[in-house]
Amino acid sequence: MTSIPMLDLRREYEYMKSDIDAAIQKCLGHQKWILGPEVKELEQTVAGYLNAKFCVGASSGTEALVLGLRALAIQRKGQEYFDKTDKIITTPFTFTATGDAILRSGATPVFVDIEPGTYNLDVNKVEECIKQVKGVVGIIPVHLYGQVCDMGKILELAQRHHLFVVEDVAQAFGATWQGKKAGSIGDIGAFSFFPSKNLGGFGDGGMVSTNDPALADLVTMLLKHGGKDKYNVDHIGYNARLDTLQAAVLLAKMKFIDEFNRNRQKLAGEYGRRLGDLKTIVLPKNITASFQGEHVYHQFTVRVLNGRRDELQRYLKENGVDTMVYYPVLLNRMKVFQGRSEVLQNVTEAEKAVNEVLSLPVEPLFSGGPEIPQICDLITSWSKKS
């Protein structure tokens, strides 16, 4: 029995070995470990790819979110941090860091329910939230699992109420909306290059994208201790630079990103064809055709009905298939957000999702291989027993 992992990073490395080894070798030659030439080159390459005016490397996706929010506080309020009375709308069904970054920027997160088909923010509830909650200053849509949120409505609301939009693009490198790349749509995009993301480095890394030169300048200062000159700074800063070595690896991997995203889409299509008739699970809803976009399937996440999610996960594990639950706990349920956040009404759909979602392997190099058919056969036979 061969085992099937969620991702096979070793295999991906073997696939790109000559490019990555050469990139690392080049760094060993120049020894410019802090903000070396690869950082600038990656920033320019990603900016070109996104068609965004500016990209700034950061030490992680989490720091990219914090840097973006801090820059917005400085730009919009003329102060280092937001106030607690400043509210930022986001989803409770995301990685901890989305909400944590809001707290670290001084603002208060307001959690709004998701739309059950895509698991992304329910934009009608976002609209309700803006009407009901005083002090909303911005929205952080999270493009969950690689699918861009319904940005038309979000941008319209933002414009009407003078709110900023920070896209959490940690799971959606290369995804599009109306032909625009995620991260180039709002005021700021925050990317993660955590190794398991669809563009992942060999350690932590992240990036901030923006079309606003003033925001790009502020982010650049904040991540280098808060000033243009680190020996004489203007703002409360961080040491949150992207490593040269990570930038070198990411530049090498950038060459494969479109191919890998296409492979992910093929795997999703194959899952869809093989699992579409089962009554026990619900396939992920791809609404990108409605906004001329592309889903990059950072995750392929099914909903398992009748309270049987954990049972299916156990069954697959016993048969050598790894799966993951993204996410098992809503942000509004975590201790860190108690007394520090608000929830719009009840987040019923998010509460349901937590108990039903299961992410299946989508290793791009499984394309054309036996893995997806094997997983689907297991799910089909599990579905028929009982």
**Tokens encoding 197:** 């993301």
Instruction: Please give the residues from 299 up to 338 whose contact with ligand PLP meets the rule CB under 6 A.
Output: none
Contacting ligand PLP (CB under 6 A), which of 38, 168, 243, 294? 168
Contacting ligand PLP (CB under 6 A), which of 7, 42, 56, 60? 60
Q: How far apart are CA 166 and CA 277, in angstroms?
A: 38
Position 170 contacts ligand PLP (CB under 6 A):
yes
Q: How far apart are CA 354 and CA 90, in angstroms?
A: 16
State the CB neighbour count (10 A cutoff) for residue 33.
10
User: Which CB atom, from 171 or from 288, has the smaller least distance to ligand PLP?
Assistant: 171
Q: Which stretch binds ligand PLP (CB under 6 A): 118-126, 163-171, 232-240, 242-250?
A: 163-171
Position 61 contacts ligand PLP (CB under 6 A):
yes
Q: How far apart are CA 249 and CA 22, in angstroms?
A: 9
Report the residue number whose CB is nearest to ligand PLP: 61
**Tokens encoding 344:** 């719009």
Contacting ligand PLP (CB under 6 A), which of 174, 189, 201, 206? 206
In the complex, what is the shortest distance from the CB of residue 137 to ligand PLP, in angstroms, rounded to a whole number?
20
**Which residue(s) pair with 304 in the sheet?**
281
Position 62 contacts ligand PLP (CB under 6 A):
yes
Contacting ligand PLP (CB under 6 A), which of 171, 211, 280, 359? 171
Size of site (CB under 6 A) for ligand PLP: 15
Instruction: Please give the residues from 95 up to 124 whose contact with ligand PLP meets the rule CB under 6 A.
Output: 95, 97-98
Contacting ligand PLP (CB under 6 A), which of 82, 145, 194, 382? 194
State the CB neighbour count (10 A cutoff) for residue 311.
13
| Cα 321 versus chain centre, distance | 24
Alpha carbons within 13 A on the beta-carbon side of 23: 26
Residues with Cβ within 8 Å of residue 264, at least 6 apart in sequence: 146, 198, 296, 297, 298, 300, 362, 364
Q: Which stretch binds ligand PLP (CB under 6 A): 47-55, 57-65, 226-234, 327-335?
A: 57-65
User: Which CB atom, from 246 or from 280, has the smaller least distance to ligand PLP?
Assistant: 246
Position 145 contacts ligand PLP (CB under 6 A):
no
Position 142 contacts ligand PLP (CB under 6 A):
yes
Residues with Cβ within 8 Å of residue 138, at least 6 apart in sequence: 69, 72, 88, 89, 107, 158, 163, 164, 165, 166
Q: How far apart are CA 81 and CA 98, in angstroms?
A: 17
In the complex, what is the shortest distance from the CB of residue 242 to ligand PLP, in angstroms, rounded to a whole number?
11
Do residues 330 and 351 make contact, with C-beta atoms less than 8 angstroms apart?
A: yes
In the complex, what is the shortest distance from the CB of residue 97 to ligand PLP, in angstroms, rounded to a whole number?
4
What character string, x for contact with ligand PLP (CB under 6 A) and - otherwise, covers 80-99?
A: --------------xx-xx-
User: Which CB atom, from 62 or from 265, has the smaller least distance to ligand PLP?
Assistant: 62
User: Which CB atom, from 61 or from 364, has the smaller least distance to ligand PLP?
Assistant: 61
Q: Name the amino acid, one letter, at 103.
A: L
- 251 sits in which H/E element: helix 244-254
**Tokens encoding 234:** 């203007």
User: Which CB atom, from 170 or from 248, has the smaller least distance to ligand PLP?
Assistant: 170
In the complex, what is the shortest distance from the CB of residue 243 to ligand PLP, in angstroms, rounded to a whole number?
13
Beta-strand relationship, 206-210 and 54-58:
antiparallel
Residues with Cβ within 8 Å of residue 335, at least 6 apart in sequence: none
User: Which CB atom, from 204 or from 356, has the smaller least distance to ligand PLP?
Assistant: 204
Residues lying near ligand PLP in the complex (CB under 6 A) are found at 60-62, 94-95, 97-98, 142, 168, 170-171, 192, 194, 204, 206
